[in-house]
């Protein structure tokens, strides 16, 4: 009798759990307008890109050879066969990986979102995929779901979690290899090279994997695609994929590489052609910005993936000025980190993150939520604007103690952003507005003057 009661109790608990789960899953998410959906991203301005995978073990080196360009392309650049390369995912065991520490470093640097490479061109996944065994849970000895740990750490620290997914896959047979002598021949976007198996890879592998990432790891801020250049991937696939993503998570943002690199809102450009939600200039800052939402992605040295031989690091001052330059043109800055195979950020990256954090902590008001400059670029730096306030970001501090502003700026009150107690005097001339500033720059990298505008 007791056994029967216990069985009935267990059945009741199971039914309650099923009903509760169904109720939660069936709860509809409010679909935001495009402007509402993009609002957090437009305000965030600064994010962290993380390129991490089995290539992080290699470091861009094979015997005496060093891969040219980014070390994340080691499989291709160092001429590994698919079979030879598979030993690296089988070795991937980053015991020093600490998701909370990674997110803390991003947050302390002033970054508001993180984009992790869930799967790069090598095809190795950093989550527990049921579609494939070529992932961190099945192939590697690590047996920890990296996407899960990082997404949970982001949620705890109020950082928006996003993922990158490569359309290119050098490992999957239907995406490349068994059809060509060179598994990466399609990277050249040669229309004469046709892969009849690619649609099967898209429908049965790529699309379901993207679905897993959207369904199993909470709210996703951005889905960031790459590899759109290959001839086998079509605009029709991009349209289908964009629609699929928005059906699962209606408020998720998708970059323009879901298609062939065009820009626009809600999947359409100004001519009504398919695109993505924002543009993605890579390793460059457009001279005048882009007439739509955009995000510049950039490395700290020359490589996206971990590459110890690459010592050409951008200075902290340069990176801070790049952040300001991008924001002044209406864009976001996605700055990359390439952790090593143990799960450590390079010390050079950490030092630069710390410097950027010190600056954004003092001057973030002039960055977050700011809009593009209404004026042409001044010789001494950049402008940003927000809520009736103009911010003058001074790269080259005037030695004579006079900052020359655009002549039609009407000042109500001007102060150094980090010292609101001292009001700066100004006088207008026929050619410019002259602002008296301290003889010594308040900040050694970028000093910010807060100008409250008169009505």
Mean pLDDT value across residues 131-149:
98
The pLDDT of residue 29:
82
- When pLDDT is cut at 50, 70 and 90, the band that residue 335 belongs to is very high
Cα–Cα distances in angstroms (integers) from residue 265 to residues 236, 269, 306, 377, in the given order: 17, 6, 34, 27
Q: How far apart are CA 71 and CA 337, in angstroms?
A: 12
- Whether the CB-CB separation of 412 and 357 falls below 8 Å is answered with no
Tens-place pLDDT, residues 32-90: 999 999 999 999 999 999 999 999 999 999 999 999 999 999 998 998 989 999 999 99
Report the pLDDT averaged over residues 148-176: 95
**Residue among 250, 253, 282 at smallest CA distance from 265:** 253
**Average pLDDT score over residue span 3-27:** 41
Mean pLDDT across the stretch 142-158?
98
d(CA 276, CA 254): 6
Give the model's pLDDT for residue 275: 80
Q: What stretch of H or E contains 89?
A: helix 87-91
Q: Give the span between the Cα atoms of 145 and 156, in whole angstroms.
A: 17
Q: What are phi and psi of 355, to 5 degrees?
A: -65, -40
Cα–Cα distance, 368 to 42 (Å, whole number): 9
Residues in contact with 111: Cβ distance below 8 Å, sequence separation at least 6, in sequence order: 46, 47, 48, 159, 335
Assigned fold of 381-453: Immunoglobulin-like (2.60.40)
Is CATH 3.30.160.620 correct for 32-366? Answer: no
Question: What is the structure's pLDDT at 178?
Answer: 46
Q: Which two tokens stand for residue 365?
A: 């008001």
pLDDT level of residue 290 (50, 70, 90 thresholds): confident
What does pTM read for this prediction? Answer: 0.92
Q: What is the rounded CA–CA span in Å between residue 194 and residue 227?
A: 16
The secondary structure of 130-182 as a DSSP string is: SS-S-BTTTTSS----HHHHHHHHHHHTT-EEEEEEES--SS-TTTSGGGSSS
The whole-number average pLDDT for the span 347-374 is: 98
Residue 142 confidence (pLDDT) above 50? yes
Mean pLDDT on 107-113: 98
Over the chain, what is the mean pLDDT?
A: 90
Residue 267 confidence (pLDDT):
58
Cα 349 from Cα 357, distance rounded (Å): 12
Q: Both ends of the chain: CA-CA distance in Å? A: 83
Q: What is the pLDDT of residue 18?
A: 38
Structure tokens at 414: 């001007």
Per residue in 209-222, pLDDT (tens digit) is: 999 999 999 999 99
Q: What is the pLDDT of residue 20?
A: 37
CA distance 242 to 126: 22
Tell me, what DSSP letter sits at residue 229?
T
Burial 220-247 (b: 16+ CB within 10 A, else e): bbbbbbbbbebbbbbeebbeebbeebbe
Domain-by-domain residue ranges, the chain?
Answer: 32-366, 381-453
pLDDT digit string (tens) for 236-288? 999 999 999 999 999 999 999 999 766 555 555 556 677 899 999 999 999 98
What's residue 6's pLDDT? 46
Task: Write down the pLDDT at residue 191.
Answer: 64
For 156, 371, 420, the CA distances from 411, given in Å and listed in that order, are 42, 19, 15
Tell me the Ramachandran region of residue 165: left when phi exceeds 0, alpha when psi lies from -120 to 50, beta otherwise.
beta
Secondary structure (H, E, C), 256-287: HHHCCCCCCECCECCCCCECCCEECCECCCCC
pLDDT at residue 184 in the model: 59
Q: Which residue has the higher pLDDT, 175 or 5?
A: 175
- Asked whether 187 and 230 are in contact (CB, 8 A), the reply is yes
C-alpha 110 chain-centroid distance: 14
CB distance 169 to 204 below 8 Å: no
Residues 119-138 have pLDDT tens digits of 999 999 999 999 999 999 99
Listed range (165-179, 287-301, 434-448) with the worst mean pLDDT: 165-179
């Amino acid at each position: 009798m007791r056994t029967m009661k216990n069985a009935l109790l267990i059945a009741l608990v199971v039914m309650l759990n099923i009903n509760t789960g169904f109720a939660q899953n069936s709860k509809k998410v409010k679909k935001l307008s495009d402007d509402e959906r993009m609002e957090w991203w437009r305000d965030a301005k600064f994010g962290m890109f993380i390129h991490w995978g089995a290539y992080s073990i290699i470091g861009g080196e094979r015997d005496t050879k060093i891969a040219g360009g980014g070390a994340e392309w080691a499989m291709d650049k160092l001429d590994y066969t698919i079979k030879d390369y598979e030993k690296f995912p089988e070795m991937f065991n980053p015991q020093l990986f600490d998701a909370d520490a990674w997110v803390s470093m991003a947050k302390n640097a002033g970054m508001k979102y993180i984009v992790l490479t869930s799967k790069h061109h090598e095809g190795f996944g950093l989550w527990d995929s049921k579609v494939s065994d070529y992932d961190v849970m099945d192939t590697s000895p690590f047996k920890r779901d990296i996407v899960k740990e990082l997404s949970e750490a982001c949620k705890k620290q109020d950082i928006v979690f996003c993922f990158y997914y490569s359309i290119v896959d050098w490992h999957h047979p239907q995406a490349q290899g068994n059809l060509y002598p060179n598994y990466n021949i399609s990277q050249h976007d040669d229309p004469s090279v046709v892969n009849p198996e690619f649609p099967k890879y898209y429908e049965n592998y790529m699309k379901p994997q993207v679905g897993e990432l959207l369904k199993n790891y909470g709210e996703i801020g951005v889905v960031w695609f790459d590899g759109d250049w290959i001839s086998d991937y079509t605009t029709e696939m991009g349209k289908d994929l964009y629609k699929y993503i928005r059906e699962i998570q209606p408020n998720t943002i998708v970059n323009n590489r879901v298609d062939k690199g065009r820009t626009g809102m809600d999947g359409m450009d100004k001519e009504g052609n398919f695109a993505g939600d924002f543009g993605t200039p890579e390793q460059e800052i457009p001279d005048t910005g882009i007439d739509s939402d955009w995000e510049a992605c950039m490395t700290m040295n020359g490589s996206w993936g971990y590459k110890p031989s690459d010592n050409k690091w951008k200075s902290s001052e340069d990176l801070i000025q790049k952040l300001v330059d991008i924001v002044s043109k209406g864009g976001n800055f996605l700055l990359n980190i390439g952790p090593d195979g143990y799960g450590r950020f390079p010390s050079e990256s950490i030092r630069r993150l710390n410097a950027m954090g010190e600056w954004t902590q003092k001057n973030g008001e002039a960055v977050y939520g700011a809009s593009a400059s209404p004026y042409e670029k001044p010789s001494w730096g950049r402008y940003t604007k927000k809520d009736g306030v103009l911010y003058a970001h001074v790269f080259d501090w005037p030695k004579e103690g006079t900052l020359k502003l655009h002549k039609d700026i009407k000042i109500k009150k001007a102060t150094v952003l980090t010292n609101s107690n001292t009001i700066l005097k100004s006088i207008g001339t026929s050619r410019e507005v002259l602002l008296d500033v301290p003889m010594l720059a308040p900040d050694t990298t970028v000093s910010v003057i807060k100008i409250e505008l008169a009505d």
